[in-house]
Amino acid sequence: MDLKLDAEDLNTCVSCGLCLPHCPTFRVTGEEAHSPRGRIALMRQVHHHNAPVTDEVLDAFSSCVQCRGCEPACPSGVPFGRLIERTRETLADERIMTSVWQRVALKSLAWPALIRFGSLLLAFAQRLRLVPRRLGVPAQLPIRRAPLVASGRDVYLFTGCVMDAWQRDTHLAAQRVIEAAGFGVTPTGNLAPCCGALHLHSGLARDTKRLAARMIAKLDDQPILVDSAGCGAAMKEYGGLLRTDEARAFSSRVYDIQEWLAQYVERLPRIEPLALRVAVQDPCHLRHVQRVHNATRTVLQPFVKELVELDDDGLCCGAGGAYSVLQPQMADKIRRRKLASIELAAPDIVASANPGCSMHLASGGVETLHPLEIVDRALREA
């Protein structure tokens, strides 16, 4: 089967295996088919030798978290993210992958009113104890959400889809911190309802391109700050996805909110730090894809008594967008390693800059906040 892969991308892998210890699924199972090298070998078999897409091959591709921890570890620069995205896209086009219910659920993300309504139903169901905790939905979804109000036009704050419905408080805190640094903020709201990251991971690249083109047309010249690492990573890659000058110019205006604030942290008031020991969990799409995870330390350092690092070298937590819903057993096994690292660090709280990681860790019993929620708390308490 023609997986529509770039031959050069596929040939770059020299099968050295240096990426294996950085792959969360290989760490869990120890199986070659669950490693980057094994997955690339299977792509070659299917693409070059027309090998059949058996259940085992499909499992190898669908069990990948798309964390891209293998990319910075690879001395040959294999673009594994692009390989797995294209593979999944071809398999989704052939209807071998991505079920109808997944497609319907993903389509709904472009409709904010539908998400708000669904979230409200879920919030009521939670209060009637009808939502199992293992689903990873945040405890006590809000029935009412405080409005996000524009305070100026210096920067956009991208608010997105599910995060805005479930974690509006993170956006509110992020906006207050950016305002405290002296900038006027325009929350994007209905201007840009969804970034399309989850669609891309599921092989629905056409949907992502549609959402990207719509967002590019709506958001004019200001910097676009993103407080979800997964969304920010996807938006920074619109240039490569759409391959237009307009998309490339758009992507160059996208910043993770901490990456952007790190340049202006001196503008925030000097205050007594919070008496907290905070462990930093680097979301994969901040560390391996955007590669701006050090900004989390720069932004948090002045506002907390102690910052501690986890001992796992940025290994994935298993959240992976919708991965924890689609592959719950593997996601749980991957999370156990992260929970052990957190337990060893013994923090009061964990800072995580990605909503999916926060929810996945919270459903494992860990208290998490976005780094800017911690800064906001420090500023408010002062």
Q: Which residues bind ligand SF4 (CB under 6 A)?
A: 13-19, 22-25, 36-37, 39, 64-70, 73-74, 76, 78, 80
Provide the minimum distance between the beta carbon of 127 and ligand SF4 in the complex, in angstroms, as a whole number.
36
Place of tokens 């996208």: 254
277 half-sphere exposure, CB direction, 13 A CA radius = 10
The C-alpha atoms of residue 264 and residue 181 are separated, in whole angstroms, by: 7
- To the nearest whole angstrom, how small is the minimum distance from the Cβ of residue 208 to ligand SF4? 18
- Between 77 and 152, name the residue whose CB sits nearer to ligand SF4: 77
Nearer to ligand SF4, 18 or 262 (CB): 18
Q: Which is nearer to ligand SF4, 168 or 288 (CB)?
A: 288
Helices 36-49 & 55-62 angle (0-180, nearest 10): 130
Query: Between 3 and 64, whose beta carbon lies closer to ligand SF4?
Result: 64
CB of 19 to ligand SF4, least distance (A): 3
The distance of closest approach from Cβ of residue 365 to ligand SF4 in the complex, given in angstroms and rounded to an integer, is 24
Structure tokens at 30: 């120890």
Q: How far is the CB of 316 from ligand SF4 (least distance, A)?
A: 6
User: Bridge partners of 350?
Assistant: 279, 368
Q: Which is nearer to ligand SF4, 279 or 334 (CB)?
A: 334
Distances 14 to 18, 36, 40 between C-alpha atoms, Å? 10, 12, 10
CA–CA dist 46, 41 (Å, integer): 9
- Please give the DSSP secondary-structure letter assigned to residue 338: H
Q: Shortest gap between Cβ of 167 and ligand SF4 (angstroms)?
A: 24
Is 191 in contact with 171 (CB distance < 8 Å)? no
Cα 116 from Cα 93, distance rounded (Å): 30
Q: How far is the CB of 212 from ligand SF4 (least distance, A)?
A: 22
Output 21 or 302, the one with its CB closest to ligand SF4.
Answer: 21
Q: Tokens for 216?
A: 């590019």
φ/ψ (deg, to 5) at 151: -120, 0
Q: How far is the CB of 20 from ligand SF4 (least distance, A)?
A: 7
Nearer to ligand SF4, 119 or 327 (CB): 327
Q: Which is nearer to ligand SF4, 178 or 319 (CB)?
A: 319
Least distance between ligand SF4 and beta carbon 138 (Å): 25
Residue type, 27: R
Residue number with CB closer to ligand SF4 (247 or 317): 317
Query: What is the rounded distance in angstroms from the CA atom of residue 284 to the CA atom of residue 287?
Result: 5
Q: Closer to ligand SF4 at the Cβ: 64 or 342?
A: 64
Report the alpha-carbon distance of residue 138 to residue 156 in Å, rounded.
Answer: 26
Decide if 250 contacts 223 (C-beta within 8 A).
Answer: no
Q: Nearest approach, Cβ of 319 to ligand SF4 (angstroms)?
A: 12
d(CA 184, CA 258): 16
Separation between Cα atoms, residue 149 and residue 376, nearest integer Å: 17
Question: What does R_g of the chain's alpha carbons equal in angstroms?
Answer: 20
How many Cα neighbours within 13 Å face the side chain of 375?
32
| Helix, strand and coil percent figures for the chain, each rounded to 5 | 55, 10, 35
